[in-house]
Structure 1
Amino acid sequence: MVKYHEWLYQPLKPKPLAGKTILITRAAGQSSQFRQLLEHQGAEVVEVPTLVITPPASWEPLDQAIAQIGTYNWLILTSANAVEFFFQRLHAHNLDSRSLHHLKIAVVGRKTGELLSIQGLIPDLIPSDFIADSLVARFPECVNSRILFPRVQSGGREVLITELEQKGAKVDAVPAYESGCPQDIDEIALRSLQTHQIDILTFASSKTVRNFHQLISKALPDEWDQLLDSVQIASIGTQTSIACRELLGRVDIEAQEFTLEGLAQAIVNTCN
């Protein structure tokens, strides 16, 4: 048995990401959870906002849908932003979750489900692998069902809408928020890349990949790809990895569970 004073002076086991500097590409103001996960494992974290989240160009389509909320059978929410902006607009009409009592609700992602629970609602359907494509496979019979799908104004994938409509549903996909690219890349993040301080570059959506590529190629048109040669590229899942391979040339780490926790764990597993 190790005596107390002997245990007290035993060297602490280093954290798995100690000595690693990780760049995270998220929307401004939305990186705290992922940052904490990585810092808890010993990483130094540099943030580069690659998304700017704003209201849509017009609230009219969503307002019209909310005015007819009683005519819908399902509500689909595929992101935390969709939850936040949908309920913000619902409250603007002096309505709350009680107005949705007749609806079944499908969500994608644990975070989306957690935000829904804050509104006092539990999703009726959530795919276990947390990707929108899996929602269709698990969706019940929906012939003649009317589905409200608040989503990003531009850049969203159409596969969910197309496949639900092929199953006989009427899908009203309405803009609830917009996701744009910042004008320029963060100077601290750019300097960290130029001085080869970054070990791992992370992406949690296809759009962050596209926007990062746009920002870095604008800032360093002749050298950005060379700067990434010594950096590992980590992706949250299948669609994000496709964008990484298309625009950045490769993926070195891919999460098994398509969540921020899964991405952090995949990085830890690679570095151990």
Structure 2
Amino acid sequence: MSVVGPLAGRSIVVTRPQAQAAPLAEAIVAAGGTPIVFPLLEIAPAADPQPLAEAAARLAEYAVAAFVSPNAVEHALPVLLTHAAWPAGLLPAAVGQGTVKALAARGVTGCIAPTERFDSEALLALPELAAERVAGRRVAIFRGDGGRELLADTLRQRGATVDCITCYRRSGPSDGVAPLLSAWRQGRLDAITVSSSEGLRYLVDLLDAEGLVFLKATPLFVPHARIAENARALGLSNIVLTEAADAGLIAGLRAYNWLQ
């Protein structure tokens, strides 16, 4: 029986970390396509566990606990809840809805998060993080190594005391890009979805001249304008900006004119 759907006959690369790749891969299958799961970021616990342990010990002292990603929830929350339940007066905050769901799945509800644009700017625009609400209060930000400082810097400017706690670290693909090159050479790689500027930089750095030619000719679906800007800065131009999150990526894939 032939496969039907808007993505029938199309092979789409899913580059989210392994633990977050399944929903988008399943949506691609539901639309008739074939997902190629190729995480551009590998996630591991932070090299130094002490800062997270110390944050757990003083969790009740914080007014707000912000989680930048589902990975932050996965690596921080088990430690934070080892000795006590989530403090009643601690407001959880998240950059995206996937992080809200990850918190809720572990029993932490009442989370504030943007509902349209999913980035630090949108989180900072919420009234709960206005200067009059955070001044003189303590905020914890649970995140990976590196990343943007906008959230922490802005909250400090608003008068908050901010602790940034690294609870996981990121690295590029350990097995190289041979699977992608093989798919390209066989003519069975039609598009790539990218949800991380850092992951995209790893990909560009890993590809040789042949791979870069393939990449530049392949539609790159990205769910945020900042990723699109970074892609252009890396010399890519075949970029499709979609709405946010997995829902935006799959909608963009389904609507794309594959015959153009």
Q: TM-score, normalised by structure 1?
A: 0.86
Instruction: Tell me, yes or no, if the aligned pair for 2:218 and 2:238 is still in contact at 8 Å.
Output: no
CA distance in 2, matches of 1:48, 1:134: 29
8 A contact 2:100–2:111 mirrored in 1: no
Partner of 2:248: 262
* 1:13-162 correspondence runs (5 A): 14-91=4-81, 93-95=82-84, 98-128=85-115, 129-138=117-126, 139-140=129-130, 141-154=133-146, 156-162=147-153
- What is the percent sequence identity of the aligned residues? 25
CA–CA separation in structure 2 for the residues paired with 1:100 and 1:116: 14
Is 1:238 aligned to 2:225, yes or no?
A: yes
SS in 1 for 2:134: coil
Q: Which residue does 2:158 correspond to in 1?
A: 167
Equivalent position of 2:190 in the other structure: 199
What are the Cα deviations for residues 69-111 of structure 1, in whole angstroms up to 9, with x where unaligned?
Answer: 12111100121011111112124x333xx33211011112111
2:162 partner SS: strand
The C-alpha deviation readout for 1:207-237, integer Å capped at 9, x for no partner, is 2211211222xxx2x2222112431111021
Gaps spanning 5+ residues in structure 2: where? none
Q: Please tell me whether the aligned partners of residues 181 and 211 of structure 2 are also in contact (alpha carbons under 8 angstroms).
A: no
CA contact (8 A) 1:225 1:248 kept: no
With over 3 angstroms needed to count, the CA separation of the structure-2 counterparts of 1:99 and 1:25, relative to structure 1, is closer
Q: Secondary structure at the match of 1:99?
A: coil
CA contact (8 A) 2:193 2:222 kept: yes
Note if 1:213 corresponds to 2:204.
Answer: yes
Quote how far apart the aligned CAs of 1:271 are. 3.4
Alpha-carbon distance in structure 2 between the residues aligned to 1:176 and 1:99: 17
**Structure 2 CA distance for partners of 1:88 and 1:186, relative to 1, 3 Å:** farther
2:191 touches 2:219 (CA, 8 Å); kept in 1? yes
Distance 1:89 1:124 in 2: 19
Q: What is the CA–CA distance in structure 2 between the aligned matches of 1:20 and 1:174, rounded to whole Å? A: 41
Q: Deviations over 1:55-78 (max 9, x none)?
A: 111111111111111211110012
Distance in 1 between the 2:97 and 2:56 partners?
25
How far 1:35 moved relative to its partner? 0.4
Name stretches of at least 5 consecutive residues in structure 1 with no aligned partner.
1-10
Structure 1 pair 45–159 and aligned structure 2 pair: CA distance change class (3 A)? same
Q: Give the residue type in structure 2 aligned to 1:188.
A: P
- CA distance in structure 1 between the aligned counterparts of 2:3 and 2:15, rounded to whole angstroms: 29
Q: CA deviation at 1:22?
A: 0.9
**Per the alignment, in what secondary structure is the counterpart of residue 189 of structure 1?**
helix
- The alignment covers a number of residue pairs equal to 253
Aligned residue type for 2:223 = I
Partner residue in 2 for 1:182: 173
Larger CA Rg, structure 1 vs 2 = 1
Structure 1 residue 185: Cα displacement:
2.1
The normalised TM-score by structure 2 is 0.90
- Which of structure 1's runs of 4+ aligned residues deviate more than 3 A? 11-14
- Rounded to whole Å, the distance in 1 between the matches of 2:212 and 2:231 is 12
- Quote how far apart the aligned CAs of 1:186 are: 4.2
CA distance in 1, matches of 2:194, 2:18: 14
The CA RMSD over aligned residues, in Å, is: 2.0
